[in-house]
Amino acid sequence: MANTDFPLIFDRSKEGRTGYSFPEFDVPEFNLENEFEDSYIRKEAPDLPEVSELEIMRHYTALSKRNYGVDSGFYPLGSCTMKYNPKINEDIARLDGFSHIHPHQDPKSVQGAMEMMYDLQTSLREITGMHEVSLQPAAGAQGEWTGLMMIRAFHEANGDYNRTKVIVPDSAHGTNPASAKVAGFDAVTVKSNDKGLVDLEDLKRVVGKDTAALMLTNPNTLGLFETEILEMAEIIHGAGGKLYYDGANLNAIMGYTRPGDMGFDVVHLNLHKTFTGPHGGGGPGSGPVGVSSELAAYLPKPLLVKKDNLYTFDYDRPDSIGRVKPYYGNFGINLRAYTYIRTMGAEGLKKVSEYAVINANYMMRKLEKEYVLPYQQHCKHEFVISGKKQKKLGVRTLDIAKRLLDYGYHPPTIYFPINVEEAMMVEPTETESKETLDGFIGTMMKISDEAKYNPELVQEAPFNTVVKRMDETTAARKPILRYDK
């Protein structure tokens, strides 16, 4: 069981021990020092651990067993779409023609890979209803920034230099105001109404000649579909602003409605969420952007185009905001998304949204019996409940999350969104069975009982994990990322 003294690979090191054997030299030895400038040559061998093959296997196998992922259990981390990543994606991504090519290769020699990218662009255009798509951005947040830079370029091309503000609802994903700031705008908050949706009166109050855009997370971070989008579009477009759709969580609407049809000018998608790119641990991701015809000229370059039956990269795009990433996007993640789209088909993708929404509503209505549900309408792919009833018993949402670890679950997102007290944001995803959903619901009910009859137990959880409560603030503020003897 729990071994808190888990030695680092460096601690296992014994001088002279090796995990490799090289054949005898059969070429003359070459003295680097005679050939190259002194400064290039490392004087001492790097300080690497010296261990046998068996030891290294045991070390990493033991570490891997401590890991938790979608392949090991239920992972309802709200807003992250930790759904199953089909293994056929991995088979396809490992095909030689995809995995053994180089971005510097002559485009004529990699037409198949380029055709895949082009077809993916076409599929994403169709799914979003946008005019043109770029696969370059490597994450949702980078897609947001790319979209805002295009909006800035559009306004500046019209001589409109005073549009310095981006309106962001208080129910937006946290990256939205951050991206606005990084793109050089001021983020202006618009409030939610008592239904948890954008307050149109407040929107009318903040909109003006200085509005560059509205960034809308839809469904918003409460998992609620914004019902007054057409009115918002009229208000923003009427004031000369642009409409940005944060489509990171497209799994809620895919196949049913499209940002392009709602009047949005820019949208980004998270292929690593909705379209099954494996993620967690920081990447790699893919956050393609789609734009209306009015903004197409500003897309990052090069743009992949088809000319005379040949796929080429078009660099001749004078109005482009330029490159946002070396090469052509995270090819491997884009390829997995393409595989997913092709295996699911249009009807399959529609079913994804259907089941994602049904699963979330099923779970929400069951949990509502013991946990406070702040907004009563049906949710989309995720929902937010509050632990404020349990808090009165001395059990905080953090305690509930820690107790879930004892029962073998990854906890939901907690304390977000910030407009809900003791928030728990739950996203079951469409890939889970009813039995799994019922198992989690039962555990949440059990923890609610524990909070009533044995609150200390929940307050002191977890008991069954390798490490107990960590000092998360210090870990975030003073991360120590390297081994020092």
Ligand X SMILES: *Cc1c(COP(=O)(O)O)cnc(C)c1O
Which spans of this chain sit near ligand X (rule: CB under 6 A)?
Answer: 79, 139-141, 173, 175, 217, 246, 248-249, 270, 285, 287
Q: Cβ closer to ligand X: 79 or 431?
A: 79
- Tokens representing 424 are 């728990």
* Per-residue DSSP letter, 55: H
Handedness of CA 463, 468, 472, 476 (dihedral sign): negative
DSSP reduced 3-state for 88:
helix
Q: Cβ closer to ligand X: 381 or 396?
A: 381
92: CB partners within 8 A, 6+ apart? 98, 335, 336, 339
Q: Cβ closer to ligand X: 146 or 217?
A: 217
If you count them, how many residues does the chain have? Answer: 485
Minimum separation from the CB atom of position 455 to ligand X (A): 33
Minimum separation from the CB atom of position 287 to ligand X (A): 6
User: Which of 145, 270, 157 has the alpha carbon at shortest distance from 215?
Assistant: 145
Beta pairing class for 423-426 and 383-386: antiparallel
Minimum separation from the CB atom of position 436 to ligand X (A): 22
Give yes or no for a contact between 238 and 216, defined as CB atoms under 8 angstroms apart: no
Q: Cβ closer to ligand X: 144 or 432?
A: 144
Nearest 5°: phi and psi at 367? -70, -25
Q: Cβ closer to ligand X: 139 or 149?
A: 139
Q: What share of the chain is helix, strand, coil (3-state, %, to 5)?
A: 40, 10, 50
Q: Which residue has the tokens 């579009």?
A: 233
Minimum separation from the CB atom of position 425 to ligand X (A): 10
User: Which of 273, 248, 383, 279 has the alpha carbon at shortest distance from 69?
Assistant: 279
For ligand X, the nearest residue by Cβ is: 140
Q: Which residue has the tokens 């879930």?
A: 404
Q: Cβ closer to ligand X: 224 or 461?
A: 224
Minimum separation from the CB atom of position 148 to ligand X (A): 13
Minimum separation from the CB atom of position 163 to ligand X (A): 22
User: Which of 348, 311, 370 has the alpha carbon at shortest distance from 135?
Assistant: 311
What dihedral angle (degrees, nearest 10) is formed by the CA atoms of 357, 358, 360, 362?
160
User: Which of 146, 135, 128 has the alpha carbon at shortest distance from 320?
Assistant: 146
Minimum separation from the CB atom of position 98 to ligand X (A): 22
Minimum separation from the CB atom of position 324 to ligand X (A): 13
Q: Cβ closer to ligand X: 165 or 279?
A: 279
Amino acid of residue 341: I
CA distance 148 to 213: 8
Q: Cβ closer to ligand X: 120 or 395?
A: 120
Q: Cβ closer to ligand X: 128 or 217?
A: 217
Q: What crossing angle do the helices spanning 140-157 and 175-182 adopt, rounded to 10°?
A: 40
Tell me if the bond preceding 284 is cis, omega within 30° of 0.
yes
Q: Cβ closer to ligand X: 270 or 339?
A: 270
Minimum separation from the CB atom of position 165 to ligand X (A): 20
* Per-residue DSSP letter, 419: T
245: CB partners within 8 A, 6+ apart? 216, 218, 259, 262, 264, 266, 267, 268
Q: Cβ closer to ligand X: 182 or 297?
A: 182
* Per-residue DSSP letter, 99: H
Minimum separation from the CB atom of position 173 to ligand X (A): 3
Minimum separation from the CB atom of position 80 to ligand X (A): 6
